[in-house]
Amino acid sequence: MLKVENINVFYGDLQVLWGVSFEVLDGEILVLVGANGAGKSTTLKTISGILKPKIGSIHFKGARLDLLPADQVISHGVVHVPEARRLFREMTVEENLVMGSLAPEAKKRRAETLAWVYELFPRMKERRKQMAGTMSGGEQQMAAIGRGLMALPKLLMFDEPSLGLAPILVEDVFNIVKKINGEGVTVLLVEQNVRQTLALCDRAYVLENGRVVLQGTGKELMADDHVKEAYLGL
C-alpha cells in the first residue's frame, strides 16, 4: 500500500533520516518503534508532505507522494494525526471535525462521515458545541482522531496518540486504533509505549538514530534481546 524507499531527510543542514525504507501493507497496523529523536515523527511528516526527502521516494497505491504538496497527499487518502493533537482550541469540537473534511470527496460525504465519527466517539457528539481547548487531554485526542477520520483516510498515521494521557485513557486510545483498523482503515502508528504497540500491531520497524535497525512481527520483536533490553526494560 505504502512504500518508503531509501529516504534521506534534513532539517536545514542537519540530517535526520539515513536511507529509511519500509512498507505498509493494505489493512495492517504497522508500528515505528524508537526512542525520542530516532526520526519517527520526521518519517510521518515526510510521508504527509510537510517535509521533502533529498534522496529517495515514497509511493502510495501507485502515486508518487514525495513529489506532491501536502494537500494533495491528503486527497490520495493519507492522513496524519499529529503529536499533541493540534486542535483549533477556540473553535467548537464540531468545527474542528469539519476542518478535516475540506478535500472534495470528503466534503461530499461530510454528513455520513460525521455520523460515523459520532458513533465511534459518543462523547464528541455530546461535546460538539464545546470549545475544543476546554476539553480534557483524552477528549482532545478523540477529537483529533475524529478530525483525521473526516478526511476519509485509506492510511491513517498516528504520532504519539497516548502522549500525556493517564494510563486508563491510554488503553482507550489503543482500543480505538484497533477498532478503526477493524473497520478497514490501514494504520501507521508512531508510539513510545512499546509494549502495548507491539502487542497491538501486525508488524513493526525499529528506528535508531534515523536508521531502520530491526523489523518483524510484533511477537518477533517482543522476543528480540535488543528490543527487550532497550525498550521493554527486561
CATH code for the domain in which residue 63 is found = 3.40.50.300
- Asked if 101 and 127 count as a contact pair (C-beta separation under 8 A), the reply is no
Question: Is position 31 within any domain?
Answer: yes
- Residue 218 domain-assigned (yes or no): yes
For residue 181, tell me if it sits in a domain: yes
Is 160 in the same domain as 123?
A: no
Query: What's the CA gap between 213 and 234, in Å, rounded?
Result: 19
141 in the same domain as 93: yes
pLDDT computed for residue 66 by the predictor: 95
Q: What is residue 234's predicted lDDT score, i.e. its pLDDT?
A: 60
Same domain, 169 and 221: yes
- What is the number of domains present in the chain? 2
Residues 12 and 41 in one domain: yes
Of the three residues 152, 173, 199, the one that is the final residue of a domain is: 152
Q: Are residues 146 and 123 in the same domain?
A: yes
Last residue of a domain, one of 110, 130, 152: 152
Residues 69 and 167 in one domain: yes
pLDDT digits (tens), the chain, 234 positions: 999 999 999 999 999 999 999 999 999 999 999 988 899 999 999 999 999 999 999 999 989 999 999 889 998 999 999 876 678 888 999 999 999 898 888 899 999 999 999 998 888 899 899 998 898 888 888 889 999 999 999 999 999 887 777 777 788 888 889 999 998 999 999 988 888 899 999 999 999 999 999 999 999 999 999 999 988 876
Identify whether residues 180 and 148 lie together within a single domain. Answer: no
Closest CA to 173 of 149, 141, 201, 151: 141
* Residue 185 located in a structural domain: yes
pLDDT at 167: 78
**Domain contains 34:** yes
Quote the cell numbers at residue 110. 461530510
Say whether both 55 and 96 belong to one domain: no
Answer whether residue 180 is part of any domain: yes
pLDDT for position 171: 83
In one letter, which amino acid is 32?
A: L
Any domain includes 193: yes
Domain match, 68 and 97 both? no
Same domain, 62 and 168: yes
User: Is residue 163 located within the same domain as residue 110?
Assistant: no
Residue 213: its pLDDT value, please? 95
User: In this structure, is residue 82 part of a structural domain?
Assistant: no
Q: Which domain does 224 fall in, by range?
A: 2-77+153-231
Asked if residue 144 and residue 60 are part of one domain, the reply reads: no
